[in-house]
Amino acid sequence: MVGISQWIAGMLWKLLIRSQPCRLCSFRKMLSAPKYTPFLASFTYTTDNQSNRENEKTVEKLYKLSVDIRKIRRLKGWVLLEDETYVEEIANILQQLGADETAVASILEHCPEAIICSPPAVNTQRELWQSVCKNKKELVKLIEQFPESFFTVKDQENRKLNVQFFQELGLKNVVISRFLTTASIIFHTPIEKNKQMIKVLQESYLNLGGSEVNMKVWLLKLLSQNPFILLNSSASIKETLEFLQEQGFTNFEILQLLSKLKGFLFQLCPRSIQNSMSFSKNAFKCTDHDLKQLVLKCPALLYYSVPVLEERIQGLLKEGISVAQIRETPKVLELMPQIVQYRVRKLNSLGYRIKDGYLANLNGTKKEFEANFGKIQAKKGRPLFNPVAPLNVEE
């Protein structure tokens, strides 16, 4: 049985962004909000007049560092118009970390805003990042991959307090490093708000029957899988839990759903969950009890929006798979239609008729599917008898 852990980290997150318009909207807007003033951000191309107004010293210093000026002009030309820049100072900080010429040029090309950051502020940021990533070589790689996260130098005291708080909770530095790069928004949240949310999560776990002994492990795993859970409100968490209880789920079952969905469940509003459940009930023509069992087998039924569920089911039906088969193995709904089509064709090439067989062979991650495919392939090619085995011949 395929675990939820691998698909949720990849396709499920993309589907979340695409298909659920509820509580995610608020922090999606924060994630996508411009870090700079609209006026500055409006300079996305170069004209002769703009070129004449560029800071010549800035351009010259960038040329010396082998930075592609054309790329900066095309993407964020407004940076070159700034009167005060710190090209040499920022480059020096990066070089002190061990960044070579190529790395420095790449970082400045992808995040030219770095040259207008105050060197003392960048040094403070460097110290903070080094507190969770001791290896300079690894730190340079992180900065190359996520330069905008590194050069977002506002709220530094709050960021520092949040890092310390996460360390005190028991999160490993490598996990906090990942947060700094891919979930940096949670460090801009006031420290008191993050502390409050952690308390709410702990209380919710205990109220659902979790034990004090296991609470820390559960919480750290939940945070490491989905740090964005901290962007929720205590009211929304309470609302979601009450809704699931009203649907007949026991406390133990709700804990299971939370763990399997990595806390993303809290980022869905009851209305969207209700819509998805109603659609599934009609599509599979099942009772409330049967629907609950389907959800426990495939928690994504709560998570996916109605259009996504409809697309998945239609894709399976087109391949000759029946509704009854889907009900028996609902986790097949975790696969995108294109993946289903590819896997069905591949199995058909071996003479395996998926509509007459067990859908578990269609399921799983790419690695798991390839392993199962290899076993079926080996079985198909196996001789009817063992040519090296002794023959029982009557004399």
- Residue 392 within a domain: no
Tell me, yes or no, whether 141 lies in a domain: yes
What is the mean predicted confidence (pLDDT) over 367-391?
70
- Residue 258: partners with Cβ closer than 8 Å, 6 or more residues away: 208, 222, 265, 266
Q: Is 369 within the bounds of a domain?
A: yes
Structure tokens at 87: 């090209």
- Looking from the CA of 180 toward its CB, the CA atoms found within 13 Å total 33
The mean pLDDT value for 75-95 works out to 95
Phi-psi bin for 263: left (phi > 0), alpha (psi -120 to 50), beta? left
> How many domains are contained in the chain?
2
Last residue of a domain, one of 153, 182, 209: 153
pLDDT above 70 covers what percent of the chain? 83
Model pLDDT, residue 394? 45
Q: Is residue 175 part of a domain?
A: no
- Per DSSP, the residues of 238-264 read HHHHHHHHHTT--HHHHHHHHHHTTTG
pLDDT at residue 103, rounded to an integer: 96
Q: Model-level pTM greater than 0.85?
A: no
Q: At 349, is the pLDDT very low, low, confident or very high (cuts 50, 70, 90)?
A: confident
pLDDT at residue 30, as a whole number = 44
SS3 4: helix
State the pLDDT at residue 264: 81
pLDDT tens column, 11-40: 444 444 344 444 444 444 444 444 433 333
Residue-level pLDDT at 391: 43
pLDDT greater at residue 353 or residue 84: 84
Residues 6+ apart with CB under 8 A from 194: 162, 165, 186, 230
Q: Mean pLDDT, to the nearest integer, of 388-394?
A: 47
Per-residue pLDDT at 20: 42
Q: What is the pLDDT of residues 168-182, one digit of tens each?
A: 999 999 999 999 999
Whether 140 is in a domain gets the answer yes
Minimum mean pLDDT range among 8-12, 126-130, 188-192: 8-12
In a domain, 158, yes or no: no
Note down the domain range covering 83. Answer: 54-153
Residue 166 has pLDDT above 60, yes or no: yes
Q: Judge whether residue 310 has pLDDT over 80.
A: yes
Structure token pair of residue 215: 């609470």
Q: How confident is the model at residue 381 (pLDDT cuts 50, 70, 90)?
A: low
Q: Is the pLDDT of residue 386 over 90?
A: no
User: Of 86, 118, 153, which one is at a domain's C-terminal end?
Assistant: 153
Note the pLDDT of residue 382: 53
What is the pLDDT confidence band of residue 52, given thresholds at 50, 70 and 90?
Answer: low
In a domain, 84, yes or no: yes
Query: Could you tell me if residue 64 is inside a domain?
Result: yes
- At which of 153, 176, 201 does a domain end? 153
Alpha carbons within 13 A on the beta-carbon side of 50: 18
Please state at what angle helix 288-297 crosses helix 270-284, rounded to 10 degrees.
110
CATH number where 318 lies: 1.25.70.10
